[in-house]
Amino acid sequence: MKKLATVGLMACAGCHVAVTTLTYKLVDLLKTQLELVHSYILMDRKDIPDGIDVAIVEGGVKTSHDEEVVKELRVKSKVLIAIGDCACFGGIPGLINIYDLDSAFKAAYVENLSTVDGFRPTKDLPETKPHALPISEVVKVDYMIPGCPPRDITIENVLTALLSGEQPKLPSTTVCDECPKKKTGKPPERLRRLHEPVPDPDQCLLEQGFLCLGPVTRAGCKAECPAANIPCDGCYGPSDKTWDQGLAMLDGLIGAMKEKTPRIHLETLSGLINRYTFAASILGKLARKKPVKP
């Protein structure tokens, strides 16, 4: 039996919930191939044991406690898997890196309209790091399962491949390759909001002017959002063909629309094209003044 451990760092527990959606498949694995030895949400055990075969990490690193936990888990694990966008790329919490830490605390605890006599809490709390980071910035990651949260089939494919002694492989294509909508290659005339007008359910959303990140996002979700007439927001992260998800999307928009591309503030732009990957993106590294490797 392989020993399995899961931990949650700066996270919402959504990826752990995604793991449980394997339901009977997970139960079968736990009966025949896996022994769950640590999981903060699935069992009551405080310490991380030694000799872990496969470790799954949800969430990114934002505090000294996050850093200590993931470093300990790395030492005690043979294989470490980052699950979900927070662990893989920094996730939505990584957008905090647009601002300096003091400004962020002031906005959350002092200037918030629902706060009265607000103050920054520090007592009995771990140190808050200057930036939110994907776990790969702190420890070596062996495999990633992207998504917010990942689909159960993606989790199942990675786990079963590992248990079979194979190398897990994520899809190398893009969401556009899975999308059933008709594509003509015609560039959009302008960018539109989702409500103006209601999108044609049969035509490519990007060609209609809706900001769909399908061309720069890894496949694996079966294009569930575009199939429901909702633009892809990039939650499966960059595809193998994409060096930087957000900049590739921006480059494509500028190339297709030229002067029609509107000017957008950094905060808004990052939330649109790097919603899940800002902390790991080129823009995010520039914001942290970290050297960018081509």
What one-character-per-residue DSSP string does 50-62 give?
S-EEEEEEESBEE
How many Å apart are CA 92 and CA 80, to the nearest integer? 22
Per-residue pLDDT of the chain (294 residues; tens, 9 = 90+): 899 999 999 889 999 999 988 888 888 888 889 999 999 888 888 899 999 999 999 999 999 999 999 999 999 999 999 999 999 999 999 999 998 889 999 998 999 888 888 888 888 999 999 999 999 999 999 999 999 999 999 999 999 999 899 999 999 999 999 999 999 988 887 888 777 778 999 999 999 989 999 999 999 999 999 999 999 999 999 998 888 999 999 888 877 766 555 566 667 778 889 999 999 999 898 888 765 555
How many Å apart are CA 274 and CA 97, to the nearest integer? 12
- Would the pTM of this model clear 0.85, i.e. be above it? yes
Using a 10 angstrom Cβ sphere, with 0-12 exposed, 13-18 middle and 19 or more buried, the burial of residue 15 is buried
Alpha helical stretches, state H, 110-230: 152-163, 175-178, 224-227
Where do we find the tokens 């140190």?
127
Which candidate, 158, 7, 175, 14, places its Cα nearest to that of 84? 14
Report the DSSP beta bridge partners of residue 83: 58, 145
Classify 276 as helix, strand or coil: coil
In the chain, ranges of CATH 3.40.50.700 domains: 2-100+130-163
Please check whether residue 140 is in contact with residue 81, taking contact to mean a CB–CB distance below 8 angstroms: no
End-to-end CA distance of the chain: 41
Neighbour count for residue 243 (Cβ, 10 Å): 10
Which CATH number does the domain 2-100+130-163 belong to among 3.40.50.11260, 3.40.50.700, 1.10.580.10, 3.40.50.300? Answer: 3.40.50.700
Neighbour count for residue 155 (Cβ, 10 Å): 24
